[in-house]
Structure 1
Amino acid sequence: MSSDIPQYGPASRVVEYATSRPRVLGWLRGAAILDGDWGTSIAYVLGIAFALAGNSSFWHLAAMLILTTLVALNYVTICRLHPNGGGVYSTVYHRSRSFAVIGALLLGADYVITMSLSILDAGHYFGIQDPATAAMIIIFIVGAFNWFGPKHTGGAAIFVSVATLAAILTIIAVSAPEALKNAIIEPPSGNSFDNWEIFVGIILSISGIEAVSNMTGLMKEPTRDSRRAILSVLTKVVVATIFLGLAMYAIPGLDRMEHKEEMVRFLGEFYVGQWFGWVVAVSIGLLLISAGNTALNGLISIQFLMSVDGELPAPLRKLNRHGVPIIPLIIATIVPIVVLVFIHDILTLAQLYAIGVVGAILINVGSTATDKSIVISKPIRLMMALSALVLLFVETSIAVDKPKATIFAGLVLVTGLGARALAQRAKVRVPAPVPVPAAAPPPRRRARRALPTSRFLVAMKDANERLLKFAIEESRHRNAFLFVLRVKEIAVGNLPERIFLESNGAERRIEELCATANVDYQYLQVPSYEVGYTIAEQAATFGVERVIIGAERRNRLENVLKGSVMRSLSGLLPEDVQLVIFGG
């Protein structure tokens, strides 16, 4: 963290700060969030596979699960190698900025279609007559809620994930006797090219795996927690796909196209009862909306991080008062709605989905497999190379055979690379003459005083002179050294280690107030997405006896979405540290 405190000078300037990167995510919450993205593939992949190949789709699903397992094992290694973030953008950036940007843009395309497809399918599961219009409304509502930067969703994600798992296990338990005995599995028909095309069409089961690699920077123990999260969700995906697939093949005379959007709900109604269809609809529908929310936050995050690195225009860094990047949020909300205006079909959206996610995973796995600077065993490197080769064939097939997917990916790449060119052109400017700073006024003569006997910390998000004066007065009366902490909230989960921000010039006013009161102080500014954790972290670092914060002025909606900093902080501070809340 920058401790350079200018005594006099310009009102504002760009300063590099070290960020606070609290590791607050355990493997269970991580698995629930991952299940809300990756695990939702069960909701639509069965129906799509049956629509494309009927009772012979078992073999295509089996091949897809083998590839999914390979990719998942690759990501266990990638997460171990990159504990601060193993997503395609961060892992490839040190080797090739261009490939990292292309991978990030393809991942962005995947996020867009994840929102459109998942929330559209939720509309089908809920039985809404016009699911496309409903999906557009839901996406807009999700985007509106994210204006406040919702964070405390781990508990909800666990609840929805457990409810969905319980519903799926119920269907499996009830259907197993008949499914294992009467499932009709036909051999693949057609030639090898036809079957390869079907396989490519159901590749969706690998989608969402990038979500866990982007979470390693938030996990308490990245290697262990990411491995547990990946393997637990992988087990659910494999077991549920196999047994629900057998239950599907055991239903006589099942029409291939009738339930392609909500096959799991139909299986619940057929085997358990009509009433259970609503249980499945609510649990899976909420999980699909959760997947859309995860994708929206991923799309916001990737735009912001690329802008911070100068790969996208600087305006994408502008934050609202809740720390949410404004333009990335608007883009992440509007683009999926625009997609749904033109495309309402699950099968077409699945094609657009695959080209983005396969391309991003291909770049990530391929780059790791060929990176000689990292130490991995030969069998693991060979497995990664083999996986990358298969993914390359899949991506090529999609690009050749699915023109709509190619056009969509091309539009994303052209738009993104064009924005990158504008950002890089903006950086190449003739530097303006540096203004000569005004002569510094003579330093204030400070009275002699005893060395501080204690340490206080005052924390604030925004300028609050009344709070600051209160903290200074408390420090003066009790002969305390004062740490003035300003937490710059940025509602992007996996922040880079260092970030450039514009200083607001508050340092000079703080110096004036502290000098007038004859109080020793140190000014700190820390960008963070978890305000309470960061305040507690700094309090522990400097060994303070008292933390002073201002009373929160939030409405009920904000408290529901973001939680209370006071509650979070009071739970994190040691018992011997006083928490003082100033209500002025």
Structure 2
Amino acid sequence: MAEIGSNRPRELHWYHAGPMLFGDLGTSRLYVLGLAFYFSRHASFIHIFCVNIILMLVGACYLIICRKYPDGGGVYSSAKHSSRALAVIGGLMLCADYTVTASMSCLDAFRYIGIGGELWGVRIDLMCTLVAIGLIGGLNWFGPRGMGRIALVIALVTVVLTMIIGIFSLPHLHHMKIDFPVRERYSLAAWGDAWVAFTEVVLALSGIEAIANMTGVMVLTVRQTSRLAILPVLFEVVVLNLVLTAAMNALPDSKLIDVEGHYLGTDDMMNILALNYVGPTFSLIGSFVFGALLLSAVNTAIIDLVAIQY
């Protein structure tokens, strides 16, 4: 009787894995920028700058993890050598992380596209989220490489559009406002408030762990494949996140806060940047592309949920 293999085929090249990583890590800016301004206003640039430093350090660590554990598992595999109980806890936390990432990214995708309202008393964006997650999960039945090609196209288009926004914003960056995160430097409570605001923004780190769970299906050598996948994505995310945060803080407050004091762009800050720096037509096109990127994050999360079980 033929044996059933327990190993998944290695078919992911760096140009598949990189866009999948970007589909998770790169999407963080689509909601983190708005959240950063909501929680820390014009101190958001300093917070994002600090997060980027941490992101580079974590990225360097994941280069080592991918090299040491080429069969996948990431944090789970590395923790298993110290404590199996800790590894199980870490694995379950990763599963929770991917579940939240998939649901939040998918819901935000339809918000970027502009789908809203209710049908039979149920929010339409929630129904679309459930259907989309099911469809993307079904498509993964055919393997990750096909979805990797789709992720590559989406990632390239997104990078181009994001660079256009960044380039158009450059002449306006001298209007950028930067506040120190701690309003009263000698107040312990003020430092505590600044720390809480920073923890809200550190969500931007979410996504880098995705690459370590893909190593089990990467082509050999995993060390080279993972390096080529991580470094370009890390560079793009760090540089453009800073530029876009500066562009956000260069906008007048009237573009970010309405007359009633409600914050605008909490869910779709990239649309606001595209609208104000490039134009309404570009913003409309960008909303669909950014929505597609968020759906790509759903795909990455599902792939990692499957991978961590191996």
TM range (shorter): 0.7 to 0.9
Of 118, 125, 139, 1:134 maps to 125
* Match in the other structure for 2:134: 143
Aligned match of 1:183 = 176
Flag the 1:300–1:19 CA change in 2: closer, same or farther, 3 A.
closer
State whether structure 2 residue 285 is matched by structure 1 residue 279.
yes
More strand, by proportion: 1
Residue 119 of structure 1: how far off its partner (Å)? 1.3
- Residue 236 of structure 2 aligns with an amino acid whose one-letter code is K
What's the counterpart of residue 270 of structure 2?
Answer: 264
- Change in Cα spacing, 1:230 to 1:187, as seen in structure 2 (3 Å) is same
Q: CA deviation at 1:62?
A: 1.0
Are 1:97 and 2:84 counterparts? yes
Could you say which residue in structure 2 is the equivalent of 1:483? none
- Find the aligned partners of 2:136 and 2:194 in 1 and give their Cα distance: 43
Q: Which residue of 1 aligns with 2:186?
A: none
How far has the Cα of 1:298 moved from its partner?
A: 2.6
Instruction: Output one character per residue of 1:126-179: Cα deviation in whole Å (capped at 9) or x when no partner.
Output: 122249631442333331453461421121110000010010000011111111
1:207 matched to which residue of 2?
206
* Residue correspondences, number: 290
Counterpart residue type for residue 175 of structure 1: S
- How much has 1:18 moved relative to structure 2? 4.8
What CA distance in whole angstroms lies between the structure 2 residues aligned with 1:76 and 1:139?
34
Uncovered stretches (5+) of structure 1, i.e. residues with no partner: 6-14, 306-494, 496-584
Which amino acid in structure 2 is aligned with residue 249 of structure 1?
Answer: N
Partner secondary structure for residue 25 of structure 2: coil
Per-residue CA deviations over 1:22-41 (Å, capped at 9, x if unaligned) read 32211111100111111100
State whether residues 183 and 250 of structure 1, in contact with CA within 8 Å, keep that contact through their aligned partners in structure 2. Answer: yes
Q: How far off its partner does 1:115 sit?
A: 1.5
Matches within 5 A, 1:167-246: 167-179=161-173, 181-190=174-183, 191-220=190-219, 221-246=221-246
The one-letter amino acid of 2:132's match is: I
Q: Which amino acid aligns with 1:246?
A: A
Distance in 2 (CA, whole Å) between partners of 1:95 and 1:136 is: 43
**Counterpart Cα distance in 2 of 1:108 and 1:19:** 20
- Give CA deviations for 1:421-479 in whole Å, capped at 9, x if unaligned: xxxxxxxxxxxxxxxxxxxxxxxxxxxxxxxxxxxxxxxxxxxxxxxxxxxxxxxxxxx
- Taking only aligned residues, the RMSD between alpha carbons, in angstroms, comes to 2.0
CA drift of 1:89 comes to 2.1
CA distance in 2, matches of 1:198, 1:81: 35
The superposition leaves residues 252-290 of structure 1 with CA deviations (integer Å, 9 ceiling, x where unpaired) of 123351111100111001111000111211111001011
Distance in 2 (alpha carbons) for counterparts of 1:20 and 1:301 = 11
Match of 2:58 among 57, 60, 71: 71
**Whole-Å Cα distance in 2 between the matches of residues 219 and 300 of structure 1?**
14
CA distance in 1, matches of 2:228, 2:303: 23
Q: Which residue of 1 aligns with 2:256?
A: 255
Listed as ranges, the matches of 1:397-546 within 5 Å are 495=310
Structure 2 letter corresponding to 1:290: S
Report the residue type matching 1:177 in the other structure: P
Q: How does 1:273-352 map to 2 (within 5 A)?
A: 273-302=279-308, 305=309
CA contact (8 A) 1:60 1:195 kept: no
Residue in 1 that maps onto 2:107:
120
- C-alpha distance in 2, partners of 1:110/1:86? 14
The aligned counterpart of 2:149 is 155
Aligned equivalent of 1:339: none
C-alpha change, 1:119 and 1:175, in structure 2 (3 Å) is same
Higher helix share: 2
| Bigger Cα displacement from structure 2, 283-292 vs 184-193 | 184-193
- Relative distance call for 1:78 and 1:126 in structure 2 (3 A) is same
Q: 1:301 to 1:143 in 2, by over 3 A?
A: farther
Q: Which amino acid aligns with 1:68?
A: L
Query: Which residue in the other structure is 1:377 paired with?
Result: none
Find the structure with the greater CA-based Rg.
1
Contact 1:78/1:213 (8 A) holds in 2: yes
Structure 1 residues 28, 274: closer, same or farther in 2, change over 3 A? same
How do residues 528-567 of structure 1 correspond to structure 2 at under 5 angstroms?
A: none
The higher-RCO structure (CA 8 Å, 6+ apart) is: 2
Evaluate the alpha carbon distance shift between residue 242 and residue 28 of structure 1 in structure 2; reply closer, same or farther with a 3 A threshold.
Answer: same
Q: Does the CA contact (< 8 Å) of 2:13 and 2:218 recur in 1?
A: yes
Relative to the length of structure 1, the TM-score reads: 0.48
Distance 1:117 1:130, change over 3 A: farther
Q: For residue 187 of structure 2, what is the aligned residue in structure 1?
A: none
Question: Within 2, Cα distance between the matches of 1:300 and 1:27?
Answer: 19
Distance in 2 between the 1:92 and 1:187 partners? 38
Q: Is the 8 A contact 1:116 1:135 kept in 2?
A: no
Question: In 2 relative to 1, CA 28–234 (structure 1 residues): closer, same or farther, beyond 3 Å?
Answer: same
Q: CA deviation at 1:234?
A: 1.0
Structure 2 runs not aligned, ≥5 long: 184-189, 258-262
Deviation at 1:300, TM superposition (A): 4.0
Q: CA deviation at 1:20?
A: 4.6
Q: Deviations over 1:500-555 (max 9, x none)?
A: xxxxxxxxxxxxxxxxxxxxxxxxxxxxxxxxxxxxxxxxxxxxxxxxxxxxxxxx
Supply the distance in 2 between the matched residues of 1:164 and 1:198 (Cα, whole angstroms).
28
**TM-score, with length taken from structure 2:** 0.87
